[in-house]
Chains A and B, each alone.
Chain A
Amino acid sequence: MSAVLPEIELKPIGLGRRLANGLMTAAAAAAVLIVLLPLGAIFAYLLYKGIGSLNWSFLTQTPKPVGEAGGGMANAIAGSVLILGIASLIGVPVGIGAGIYLAEYGRDRLGNLIRFTADVLNGVPSIIIGIVAYGLVVLRQGHFSALAGGAALAIMMVPTITRTTEEMLLLVPLGVREAAYGLGVSRWRTTLSITLRTATSGVITGIMLAFARIAGETAPLLFTAFGNQYWNWNINQPTAALPLQIFTYAISPFDEWHRQAWAGALILIVLIVISVSAVRLAANRGMLKGAN
């Protein structure tokens, strides 16, 4: 490996080169500021517009018809919980299982194929996943449903969880497994109670990454969960979801609905942040117990 030797003369650094250095440093710093600007603006607006529109009825009531003041997104929040619950129930076990397979058994060509396919699946646009869930669930059932929305989001969770689980399991030293085998522990028991247990914190972080990614997803829910003006806890019925409701309200022409869209967006961001930090906290506790 031979690096190209830069063509630099050995003499005191001239004004031109010092100027170029200063300019580029300034440009890089300016890039950081320009990128941080929208981030700051988005959070500032979410807080400013969102807090002003938040009230108790927003969190406890269902949407009111156009023209009537008040109403809220309680059913959409509940719907999101339902859909995300279904998605996690399907996506998390499959993702962890696939991750275990890749880390513990998949050192061969089939493993490489699965690894590659998971990365491909990760890059599929979410709207496409929506079309597929529509074909697989909605067309079979004959109507939109929370189940279809959950299935779409579950498909999106699997590749992320698979790859992070694999990565975390591979970080567990081989010696730990060998110690278990040496004690006569069977292979499946070692994988579950020793290897996976040791990697718990990392695996959970991966799950949270996947969860945060799907919690705000709107596109795959448009024609799977579809939305609903009323309460619904039946997984076979169309269900409201927070991101869907934000979308509908944001593109509507009504000021009252715009206000509610901001409040919904604030709730969504807060829910994502809380769920991520809560589970991370729980994972840390679990790690401490395991260490003792």
Chain B
Amino acid sequence: MTVAERAQSSPLAGAGTSRVADALFQGAMLACGLSVLALVGLIIYELVTKSSLSWHAFGWKFFFASDWDPVNDEYGALPFVFGTIVSSLVALALAVPLAVGVAIFITEMSPRWLRGPLAFTTELLAAIPSVIYGLWAIFVLVPLLRAYVEPFLGRYFGWTGLFEGTPYGIGMLAAGIILAIMVVPIISAITREVMTAVPQQQREAVLALGATRWEMVRTGVLRNARAGILGGIILGLGRALGETMAVTMVIGNRAEIAKSLFAPGYTMASVIANEFSEATGDTYLSALVEVGLALFLVTIIVNILAQVLVWSVTRGMPARSST
């Protein structure tokens, strides 16, 4: 029996009115809590019912066909799936080393007085709205890419096939870079959190054995925190997959599958953003909602996975060491 329950069942507790009021209050709070469940239920219901038309018309083929043709009512989402995955992977490839480096520097290497300000500034990156990232990317990042970075990559790394073709500036590479800037604060915040959760004794023990600071970080900290760091990376992936505005503004919005990162592409989120309000015809709208449903399911799975991983490190117990 909790204190509250004991207090309520005692003869001294106010009779009648206060008990009714308590029940009413609890009911109202419960309703608020249940509304969270209802919201997610509503999201799933809306997405499933509104996409059923397209699902019945195309089935699984929807995700493997690459013609997106509203005029003839033929829809295949493969170019969007491809664009979403590629832009997110480019973003992670750039963001992960930077984010982990930032986290290591802030938690293990920086002088104490610098820690707070550095953590605050990197997290400020997360507060900038997506549309402002997009604006900056259009007018600053894209011209830089077009004039310097892409010609350089094309000349020296063109042989890989990833950096071929005309450097437009706008395209998959620009989308990947802007996404990388946006997910760095997320990954580095989680990485810092799990690194802080590694017990101080681990560090002291490794240092006492004569390790240098980097060896201490590598063997004492990173190894123990790696499940959580992976969780942070996956959380960043979830954010990158669903990011809409900044990507829409720089990816070029062309439903193509190209090997080169210089080529324009299209993502699942941006096709919804661009075409939803102009979609005429039930099948067209339904196909767009189905793209949304797929995006929803993927981000949910990714997020749940990430939470489980982060939780495995930060739940208060030292992480199990690897052997």
Contact B3 A177, beta carbon cutoff 8 Å: yes
Contact B321 A247, beta carbon cutoff 8 Å: no
- One of A46, A100, A215, A223 near B276 (C-beta < 8 A): A223
Q: Is B214 part of the binding interface, using a Cβ–Cβ cutoff of 8 Å?
A: yes
Q: Is B167 part of the binding interface, using a Cβ–Cβ cutoff of 8 Å?
A: no
Contact B40 A42, beta carbon cutoff 8 Å: no
* Contact partners of A94 in chain B: CB under 8 A: 32, 35
* Contact partners of A223 in chain B: CB under 8 A: 276-277
Docked complex: A19-36 residues within 8 A CB-CB of B: 20-21, 24-25, 27-32, 34-36
In the complex, number of A-B residue pairs with CB atoms less than 8 Å apart: 299
Contact A272 B127, beta carbon cutoff 8 Å: yes
Size class of the A contact interface (CB-based, 8 Å): 35 or more
Q: Output the least CB separation between A115 and chain B (Å).
A: 9
Q: Output the least CB separation between A34 and chain B (Å).
A: 6
Contact B35 A158, beta carbon cutoff 8 Å: yes
| Complex-state Cα separation, A262 to B135, whole angstroms | 8
| Complex-state Cα separation, A222 to B104, whole angstroms | 39
Residues of B within 8 A of A (CB): 3-4, 7-8, 12-14, 18-19, 21-22, 24-26, 28-37, 39-40, 42-43, 46-47, 50, 97-102, 104-106, 109-110, 118, 121-122, 124-125, 127-136, 138-140, 181, 184, 188, 202, 205-206, 209-215, 217, 219-220, 223-224, 235, 238, 241-245, 249, 269, 272-273, 276-277, 288-289, 292, 295-296, 299-300, 302-304, 307, 317-318, 320-323
Q: Is A269 part of the binding interface, using a Cβ–Cβ cutoff of 8 Å?
A: yes
The answer to whether A121 and B36 touch (CB under 8 A), given A131-B289, A132-B47, A258-B139, is: yes
| Complex-state Cα separation, A177 to B40, whole angstroms | 33
* Contact partners of A25 in chain B: CB under 8 A: 109, 213-214
The answer to whether A125 and B43 touch (CB under 8 A), given A32-B102, A98-B32, is: no
Contact B321 A39, beta carbon cutoff 8 Å: no
Please give me the residue from chain A that is nearest to B41 by CB atom: A117
* Contact partners of A41 in chain B: CB under 8 A: 136, 140
Q: Is A56 part of the binding interface, using a Cβ–Cβ cutoff of 8 Å?
A: no
Interface residues of A, dominant DSSP:
helix
Q: Is A237 part of the binding interface, using a Cβ–Cβ cutoff of 8 Å?
A: no
The answer to whether A35 and B205 touch (CB under 8 A), given A132-B42, A223-B276, is: no
| Complex-state Cα separation, A269 to B299, whole angstroms | 28
Q: Is A70 part of the binding interface, using a Cβ–Cβ cutoff of 8 Å?
A: no
The answer to whether A124 and B296 touch (CB under 8 A), given A17-B212, A29-B105, is: yes
Contact A24 B33, beta carbon cutoff 8 Å: no
* Contact partners of A24 in chain B: CB under 8 A: 214, 217
Scoring B43, B134, B223 by chain A CB atoms within 10 A of each residue's CB, the highest score goes to: B43
Please give me the residue from chain B that is nearest to A46 by CB atom: B132
Scoring B7, B30, B134, B139 by chain A CB atoms within 10 A of each residue's CB, the highest score goes to: B7
| Complex-state Cα separation, A189 to B32, whole angstroms | 18
Contact B214 A134, beta carbon cutoff 8 Å: no
- One of B47, B118, B202 near A32 (C-beta < 8 A): B118
- One of A30, A111, A119, A222 near B303 (C-beta < 8 A): A119
Contact A216 B129, beta carbon cutoff 8 Å: yes
Please give me the residue from chain B that is nearest to A14 by CB atom: B212
* Contact partners of B21 in chain A: CB under 8 A: 186, 188-189
30 A-B Cβ contacts within 8 A?
A: A4-B219, A4-B322, A6-B206, A6-B219, A24-B214, A25-B109, A31-B100, A35-B184, A45-B140, A46-B132, A94-B35, A97-B31, A101-B30, A102-B33, A104-B29, A105-B29, A120-B40, A121-B36, A128-B43, A128-B292, A131-B272, A132-B43, A187-B25, A188-B24, A191-B25, A218-B244, A247-B131, A250-B131, A250-B139, A269-B129
